[in-house]
Amino acid sequence: MVRLFAGSRRCRVRLVRLALGSVLAAMACASAAASTGPPPEPRPASKAPHKDFPMRIAAYVANSGSGTVSSADVRLERPVATTTVGTGPTGVGAAPDGSHVYVANGVSDSVTFIETVSRKAVATVPVGSYPFSAAPSRDGRWVLAANWGSGNVSVIDTASRRVIATPAVGELPHSVATLPDGTAYVTNSGSNNVTVLSRGHEPVARIPVGDFPSGITATVKGDRVYAANTGSGSISVIDPVTRKVTATWPVGKAPLGLGVSPDGQRLYAADSGADVLLVIDTATGGVLSRVPVGKTPQGVAVSPGGSRVWVTNEDSDTVSVVDPGLTKVRTTLRTGHQPEGIAITPR
Protein backbone atom coordinates (compact mmCIF):
# COMPACT_ATOMS: atom_id res chain seq x y z
CA MET A 1 0.00 0.00 0.00
CA VAL A 2 2.93 2.36 0.52
CA ARG A 3 3.78 2.20 -3.16
CA LEU A 4 0.19 2.88 -4.11
CA PHE A 5 0.09 6.12 -2.21
CA ALA A 6 3.48 7.29 -3.41
CA GLY A 7 2.00 8.57 -6.68
CA SER A 8 0.12 11.72 -7.54
CA ARG A 9 -2.77 12.96 -5.47
CA ARG A 10 -5.17 12.37 -8.32
CA CYS A 11 -4.10 8.74 -8.41
CA ARG A 12 -4.82 8.43 -4.70
CA VAL A 13 -8.39 9.54 -5.26
CA ARG A 14 -8.80 6.90 -7.93
CA LEU A 15 -7.27 4.25 -5.71
CA VAL A 16 -9.60 5.02 -2.83
CA ARG A 17 -12.60 4.87 -5.13
CA LEU A 18 -11.31 1.61 -6.63
CA ALA A 19 -10.86 0.08 -3.18
CA LEU A 20 -14.41 0.86 -2.15
CA GLY A 21 -15.73 0.22 -5.66
CA SER A 22 -14.33 -3.31 -5.68
CA VAL A 23 -16.16 -4.04 -2.43
CA LEU A 24 -19.43 -2.76 -3.84
CA ALA A 25 -18.94 -4.60 -7.13
CA ALA A 26 -18.51 -7.86 -5.28
CA MET A 27 -21.89 -7.30 -3.66
CA ALA A 28 -23.67 -6.30 -6.86
CA CYS A 29 -24.06 -9.86 -8.09
CA ALA A 30 -26.57 -10.68 -5.37
CA SER A 31 -30.30 -10.25 -5.94
CA ALA A 32 -31.79 -6.78 -5.44
CA ALA A 33 -32.94 -5.92 -1.93
CA ALA A 34 -36.65 -5.72 -1.17
CA SER A 35 -38.10 -2.38 -2.19
CA THR A 36 -41.36 -0.57 -1.72
CA GLY A 37 -40.85 1.54 -4.86
CA PRO A 38 -38.36 4.03 -6.30
CA PRO A 39 -37.47 7.17 -4.37
CA PRO A 40 -39.00 10.43 -5.57
CA GLU A 41 -37.30 12.44 -8.29
CA PRO A 42 -35.12 15.29 -7.01
CA ARG A 43 -37.21 18.42 -6.78
CA PRO A 44 -35.88 21.64 -8.30
CA ALA A 45 -33.92 23.69 -5.83
CA SER A 46 -36.30 25.93 -3.93
CA LYS A 47 -35.53 29.58 -3.55
CA ALA A 48 -33.02 29.73 -0.72
CA PRO A 49 -34.00 31.64 2.41
CA HIS A 50 -32.86 35.25 2.69
CA LYS A 51 -29.23 35.52 3.77
CA ASP A 52 -30.39 36.77 7.17
CA PHE A 53 -32.86 33.91 7.69
CA PRO A 54 -32.31 32.63 11.24
CA MET A 55 -31.30 29.10 10.28
CA ARG A 56 -30.33 27.17 13.39
CA ILE A 57 -30.03 23.55 12.29
CA ALA A 58 -28.38 22.83 8.96
CA ALA A 59 -27.08 19.86 7.00
CA TYR A 60 -23.65 20.06 5.38
CA VAL A 61 -22.70 17.74 2.52
CA ALA A 62 -19.13 17.20 1.27
CA ASN A 63 -19.10 16.96 -2.54
CA SER A 64 -15.91 15.08 -3.39
CA GLY A 65 -16.25 15.62 -7.14
CA SER A 66 -16.71 19.37 -7.07
CA GLY A 67 -14.58 20.58 -4.15
CA THR A 68 -17.54 22.11 -2.38
CA VAL A 69 -19.85 21.73 0.60
CA SER A 70 -23.61 22.09 0.11
CA SER A 71 -25.64 23.38 3.06
CA ALA A 72 -29.38 22.99 3.55
CA ASP A 73 -31.93 24.14 6.09
CA VAL A 74 -33.04 21.02 7.95
CA ARG A 75 -36.38 22.42 9.09
CA LEU A 76 -37.44 23.76 5.68
CA GLU A 77 -35.59 21.05 3.72
CA ARG A 78 -34.22 23.66 1.32
CA PRO A 79 -30.75 24.28 -0.10
CA VAL A 80 -29.08 27.35 1.33
CA ALA A 81 -25.52 27.78 0.09
CA THR A 82 -22.48 26.23 -1.55
CA THR A 83 -19.07 26.75 0.03
CA THR A 84 -15.80 26.14 -1.79
CA VAL A 85 -13.34 24.07 0.24
CA GLY A 86 -10.28 21.99 -0.67
CA THR A 87 -9.95 19.34 -3.36
CA GLY A 88 -11.70 16.00 -2.94
CA PRO A 89 -13.71 16.66 0.25
CA THR A 90 -15.13 13.45 1.68
CA GLY A 91 -15.90 13.61 5.41
CA VAL A 92 -17.60 16.35 7.40
CA GLY A 93 -18.30 16.82 11.11
CA ALA A 94 -20.22 19.45 13.09
CA ALA A 95 -19.05 21.17 16.27
CA PRO A 96 -21.16 20.36 19.35
CA ASP A 97 -22.17 24.02 19.70
CA GLY A 98 -23.06 24.28 16.01
CA SER A 99 -20.61 27.13 15.40
CA HIS A 100 -18.43 25.35 12.83
CA VAL A 101 -18.25 22.35 10.58
CA TYR A 102 -15.03 20.58 9.67
CA VAL A 103 -14.35 19.15 6.22
CA ALA A 104 -11.71 16.55 5.34
CA ASN A 105 -10.18 17.40 1.95
CA GLY A 106 -8.74 14.11 0.71
CA VAL A 107 -6.71 15.40 -2.22
CA SER A 108 -5.58 18.62 -0.52
CA ASP A 109 -4.43 16.80 2.64
CA SER A 110 -6.20 19.33 4.82
CA VAL A 111 -9.23 20.09 6.99
CA THR A 112 -11.33 23.17 6.28
CA PHE A 113 -13.17 25.03 9.06
CA ILE A 114 -16.50 26.52 7.96
CA GLU A 115 -18.19 29.12 10.15
CA THR A 116 -21.89 28.25 10.13
CA VAL A 117 -23.38 31.74 10.46
CA SER A 118 -21.60 33.13 7.41
CA ARG A 119 -21.24 29.69 5.80
CA LYS A 120 -17.73 30.69 4.76
CA ALA A 121 -14.43 28.82 5.03
CA VAL A 122 -12.40 30.55 7.73
CA ALA A 123 -9.36 28.28 8.12
CA THR A 124 -7.54 25.39 6.47
CA VAL A 125 -5.33 23.09 8.54
CA PRO A 126 -2.75 20.78 6.89
CA VAL A 127 -3.03 17.17 8.09
CA GLY A 128 -1.80 13.74 6.96
CA SER A 129 -2.17 11.94 3.65
CA TYR A 130 -5.67 11.64 2.25
CA PRO A 131 -7.84 12.53 5.24
CA PHE A 132 -11.13 10.69 4.81
CA SER A 133 -13.13 12.02 7.75
CA ALA A 134 -13.13 14.82 10.32
CA ALA A 135 -14.94 14.21 13.62
CA PRO A 136 -15.08 16.61 16.58
CA SER A 137 -14.71 15.43 20.16
CA ARG A 138 -17.88 15.61 22.25
CA ASP A 139 -16.56 18.64 24.17
CA GLY A 140 -15.57 20.42 20.95
CA ARG A 141 -11.90 20.82 21.88
CA TRP A 142 -10.51 18.59 19.15
CA VAL A 143 -11.15 17.51 15.59
CA LEU A 144 -9.86 14.07 14.63
CA ALA A 145 -9.01 13.52 10.98
CA ALA A 146 -8.52 9.91 9.86
CA ASN A 147 -5.68 9.93 7.33
CA TRP A 148 -6.38 7.07 4.93
CA GLY A 149 -3.05 7.45 3.14
CA SER A 150 -0.73 7.69 6.13
CA GLY A 151 -2.25 5.27 8.64
CA ASN A 152 -2.71 7.82 11.40
CA VAL A 153 -5.06 10.40 12.89
CA SER A 154 -4.39 14.12 13.01
CA VAL A 155 -5.73 15.67 16.24
CA ILE A 156 -6.50 19.36 15.71
CA ASP A 157 -6.90 21.86 18.54
CA THR A 158 -10.01 23.82 17.52
CA ALA A 159 -8.87 26.92 19.42
CA SER A 160 -5.40 27.25 17.90
CA ARG A 161 -6.34 25.38 14.71
CA ARG A 162 -3.11 23.42 14.84
CA VAL A 163 -2.33 19.70 14.86
CA ILE A 164 -1.22 18.75 18.36
CA ALA A 165 -0.89 14.95 17.99
CA THR A 166 -0.65 12.33 15.24
CA PRO A 167 -1.26 8.86 16.73
CA ALA A 168 -0.69 5.84 14.52
CA VAL A 169 -3.68 3.57 14.00
CA GLY A 170 -4.28 0.69 11.57
CA GLU A 171 -4.11 0.42 7.79
CA LEU A 172 -6.31 2.74 5.73
CA PRO A 173 -8.16 4.52 8.55
CA HIS A 174 -11.59 5.55 7.33
CA SER A 175 -13.86 7.13 9.95
CA VAL A 176 -13.90 8.24 13.59
CA ALA A 177 -16.55 8.11 16.32
CA THR A 178 -15.99 10.10 19.51
CA LEU A 179 -17.49 9.30 22.93
CA PRO A 180 -18.47 11.46 25.93
CA ASP A 181 -15.54 10.11 27.97
CA GLY A 182 -13.05 11.60 25.49
CA THR A 183 -12.08 8.36 23.78
CA ALA A 184 -12.31 7.85 20.01
CA TYR A 185 -12.86 4.79 17.81
CA VAL A 186 -11.29 4.60 14.36
CA THR A 187 -12.20 2.11 11.63
CA ASN A 188 -9.21 0.71 9.72
CA SER A 189 -10.42 -0.52 6.33
CA GLY A 190 -7.12 -2.14 5.43
CA SER A 191 -6.53 -4.11 8.63
CA ASN A 192 -10.15 -5.04 9.46
CA ASN A 193 -10.10 -3.61 12.95
CA VAL A 194 -10.99 -0.60 15.07
CA THR A 195 -8.37 1.37 16.98
CA VAL A 196 -9.33 2.93 20.32
CA LEU A 197 -7.67 6.24 21.18
CA SER A 198 -7.51 7.41 24.79
CA ARG A 199 -8.41 10.87 26.08
CA GLY A 200 -4.76 11.70 25.63
CA HIS A 201 -4.93 10.57 21.97
CA GLU A 202 -2.87 7.43 22.48
CA PRO A 203 -3.79 4.09 20.86
CA VAL A 204 -4.81 1.77 23.67
CA ALA A 205 -6.62 -1.11 21.93
CA ARG A 206 -7.35 -2.74 18.59
CA ILE A 207 -10.66 -4.52 18.14
CA PRO A 208 -11.03 -7.07 15.31
CA VAL A 209 -14.21 -6.54 13.27
CA GLY A 210 -15.46 -7.59 9.83
CA ASP A 211 -14.10 -7.03 6.33
CA PHE A 212 -13.37 -3.46 5.18
CA PRO A 213 -14.84 -1.53 8.13
CA SER A 214 -15.79 1.97 7.04
CA GLY A 215 -18.53 3.99 8.75
CA ILE A 216 -18.70 4.14 12.52
CA THR A 217 -20.99 5.81 15.06
CA ALA A 218 -21.73 5.82 18.77
CA THR A 219 -24.86 6.38 20.82
CA VAL A 220 -25.48 9.72 22.51
CA LYS A 221 -24.70 8.12 25.89
CA GLY A 222 -21.58 6.47 24.51
CA ASP A 223 -22.61 3.02 25.74
CA ARG A 224 -22.43 1.39 22.30
CA VAL A 225 -20.30 1.76 19.19
CA TYR A 226 -21.36 0.46 15.78
CA ALA A 227 -18.95 -0.25 12.90
CA ALA A 228 -20.11 -0.93 9.35
CA ASN A 229 -18.27 -3.81 7.69
CA THR A 230 -18.74 -2.89 4.04
CA GLY A 231 -16.92 -5.95 2.73
CA SER A 232 -18.84 -8.50 4.77
CA GLY A 233 -22.30 -6.91 4.77
CA SER A 234 -22.52 -6.66 8.55
CA ILE A 235 -22.46 -4.39 11.58
CA SER A 236 -20.11 -4.97 14.52
CA VAL A 237 -21.50 -3.94 17.92
CA ILE A 238 -18.77 -2.85 20.33
CA ASP A 239 -19.01 -2.49 24.10
CA PRO A 240 -16.83 0.52 25.08
CA VAL A 241 -16.36 -0.87 28.61
CA THR A 242 -14.85 -4.19 27.57
CA ARG A 243 -13.69 -2.93 24.18
CA LYS A 244 -14.94 -6.13 22.60
CA VAL A 245 -17.43 -7.00 19.88
CA THR A 246 -20.60 -8.23 21.55
CA ALA A 247 -22.58 -9.00 18.39
CA THR A 248 -22.24 -9.07 14.62
CA TRP A 249 -25.40 -8.36 12.64
CA PRO A 250 -25.73 -9.44 8.99
CA VAL A 251 -27.74 -6.56 7.60
CA GLY A 252 -27.27 -5.95 3.87
CA LYS A 253 -24.95 -5.99 0.92
CA ALA A 254 -22.47 -3.21 1.65
CA PRO A 255 -23.32 -1.00 4.65
CA LEU A 256 -21.28 2.18 4.72
CA GLY A 257 -22.38 5.37 6.49
CA LEU A 258 -24.09 5.01 9.88
CA GLY A 259 -26.29 7.09 12.14
CA VAL A 260 -28.10 6.31 15.39
CA SER A 261 -31.35 7.73 16.75
CA PRO A 262 -31.12 10.02 19.81
CA ASP A 263 -32.78 7.38 22.00
CA GLY A 264 -30.45 4.68 20.71
CA GLN A 265 -33.27 2.39 19.60
CA ARG A 266 -32.65 2.62 15.86
CA LEU A 267 -29.50 2.37 13.78
CA TYR A 268 -29.51 3.69 10.21
CA ALA A 269 -27.11 2.32 7.62
CA ALA A 270 -26.57 3.40 4.02
CA ASP A 271 -26.39 0.17 2.01
CA SER A 272 -24.26 1.21 -0.95
CA GLY A 273 -24.70 -2.16 -2.60
CA ALA A 274 -28.50 -2.04 -2.64
CA ASP A 275 -29.28 1.70 -2.86
CA VAL A 276 -31.36 1.65 0.32
CA LEU A 277 -31.30 3.03 3.84
CA LEU A 278 -31.48 0.21 6.36
CA VAL A 279 -33.51 0.82 9.52
CA ILE A 280 -32.20 -1.53 12.22
CA ASP A 281 -33.63 -2.41 15.63
CA THR A 282 -30.70 -2.07 18.06
CA ALA A 283 -32.34 -4.41 20.57
CA THR A 284 -32.27 -7.36 18.16
CA GLY A 285 -30.08 -6.36 15.22
CA GLY A 286 -32.97 -7.08 12.88
CA VAL A 287 -33.61 -4.97 9.79
CA LEU A 288 -37.03 -3.35 10.23
CA SER A 289 -37.21 -1.74 6.80
CA ARG A 290 -35.27 -0.91 3.66
CA VAL A 291 -36.00 2.55 2.29
CA PRO A 292 -35.05 3.08 -1.38
CA VAL A 293 -32.87 6.17 -1.83
CA GLY A 294 -30.53 7.30 -4.63
CA LYS A 295 -27.61 5.58 -6.29
CA THR A 296 -24.68 4.49 -4.12
CA PRO A 297 -25.71 5.98 -0.78
CA GLN A 298 -22.73 6.98 1.34
CA GLY A 299 -23.22 9.23 4.34
CA VAL A 300 -25.94 9.28 7.00
CA ALA A 301 -26.89 12.04 9.44
CA VAL A 302 -29.76 12.12 11.92
CA SER A 303 -31.52 15.36 12.85
CA PRO A 304 -31.21 16.38 16.53
CA GLY A 305 -34.75 15.29 17.37
CA GLY A 306 -34.48 12.10 15.33
CA SER A 307 -37.43 12.92 13.07
CA ARG A 308 -35.39 12.96 9.86
CA VAL A 309 -32.49 10.98 8.44
CA TRP A 310 -30.44 12.53 5.64
CA VAL A 311 -28.60 10.25 3.20
CA THR A 312 -26.09 11.29 0.53
CA ASN A 313 -26.26 9.51 -2.84
CA GLU A 314 -22.86 9.64 -4.51
CA ASP A 315 -23.87 8.56 -8.01
CA SER A 316 -27.10 10.57 -8.09
CA ASP A 317 -25.64 13.90 -6.89
CA THR A 318 -28.47 14.13 -4.38
CA VAL A 319 -29.36 13.84 -0.72
CA SER A 320 -32.48 11.95 0.37
CA VAL A 321 -34.44 13.21 3.37
CA VAL A 322 -36.08 10.20 5.02
CA ASP A 323 -38.91 10.12 7.54
CA PRO A 324 -37.86 7.15 9.73
CA GLY A 325 -41.32 6.88 11.28
CA LEU A 326 -43.04 6.43 7.95
CA THR A 327 -39.92 4.77 6.45
CA LYS A 328 -40.12 6.73 3.23
CA VAL A 329 -38.28 9.53 1.45
CA ARG A 330 -39.92 12.91 2.06
CA THR A 331 -37.89 14.84 -0.47
CA THR A 332 -34.71 14.67 -2.53
CA LEU A 333 -32.39 17.66 -2.90
CA ARG A 334 -29.67 18.31 -5.44
CA THR A 335 -26.10 18.60 -4.18
CA GLY A 336 -22.72 19.04 -5.82
CA HIS A 337 -20.94 16.27 -7.68
CA GLN A 338 -20.34 12.98 -5.85
CA PRO A 339 -21.68 13.79 -2.37
CA GLU A 340 -20.16 11.62 0.36
CA GLY A 341 -19.95 12.74 3.99
CA ILE A 342 -22.75 14.61 5.75
CA ALA A 343 -23.23 16.22 9.13
CA ILE A 344 -26.12 18.08 10.78
CA THR A 345 -25.44 20.82 13.29
CA PRO A 346 -26.83 19.85 16.71
CA ARG A 347 -28.36 23.28 17.39
**Per-10-residue mean pLDDT, the chain, length 347:** 34 48 48 45 46 67 98 96 98 97 98 97 98 98 98 98 98 98 98 98 98 98 98 98 98 97 98 98 98 98 96 98 96 98 92
Distances (CA, A) of 285 to 153, 273, 279, 280, 328: 30, 19, 10, 6, 20
- Residue 71 burial by Cβ neighbours in a 10 Å radius (0-12, 13-18, 19+): buried
User: Which pLDDT score is estimated for 313?
Assistant: 98
Pairing of strands 225-229, 328-334: unpaired
Residues with Cβ within 8 Å of 93's Cβ and at least 6 positions away in sequence, in order, are: 101, 102, 133, 134, 135, 136, 143, 343
User: Which pLDDT score is estimated for 239?
Assistant: 98
- Do 185 and 177 contact (CB within 8 A), yes or no? yes
List the beta bridge partners of residue 82.
70
Residues with Cβ within 8 Å of 270's Cβ and at least 6 positions away in sequence, in order, are: 215, 255, 256, 257, 258, 277, 278, 293, 297, 298, 299, 300, 311, 312
Q: What residue ranges define each of the domains in the chain, with the CATH number in brackets?
A: 4-29+57-344 (2.130.10.10)
CA geometry: angle at 314 spanning 51 and 4, to 5°?
120
User: Which pLDDT score is estimated for 19?
Assistant: 54
Outline where the chain has alpha helix (H).
Answer: 9-27
How far apart (Å, rounded) are the C-alpha atoms in residues 134 and 33? 31
How far apart (Å, rounded) are the C-alpha atoms in residues 187 and 148? 10
Model-level pTM? 0.87
How far apart (Å, rounded) are the C-alpha atoms in residues 15 and 45? 33
123-161 core/surface letters (b: 16 or more CB in 10 A; e: else)? ebbebbbbbbbbbbbbebebbbbbbbbbbbbbbbebeee
User: Which pLDDT score is estimated for 76?
Assistant: 95
Report phi then psi at 222, rounded to 5: 80, 20
How far apart (Å, rounded) are the C-alpha atoms in residues 196 and 91? 19
- Do 254 and 210 contact (CB within 8 A), yes or no? no
How far apart (Å, rounded) are the C-alpha atoms in residues 122 and 4? 33
DSSP states along 278-328: EEEETTT--EEEEEE-SSSEEEEEE-TTSS-EEEEETTTTEEEEEETTTTE
- Among 22, 114, 25, 9, residue whose Cα is nearest residue 71: 114
DSSP states along 5-19: GGS-HHHHHHHHHHH
Sign of CA dihedral 237, 74, 311, 111: negative
Sign of CA dihedral 272, 274, 280, 286: negative
Provide the CB-side half-sphere exposure for 248 (13 A, CA): 13
What SS3 class is residue 332? strand
User: Which pLDDT score is estimated for 41?
Assistant: 56
User: Which pLDDT score is estimated for 346?
Assistant: 87
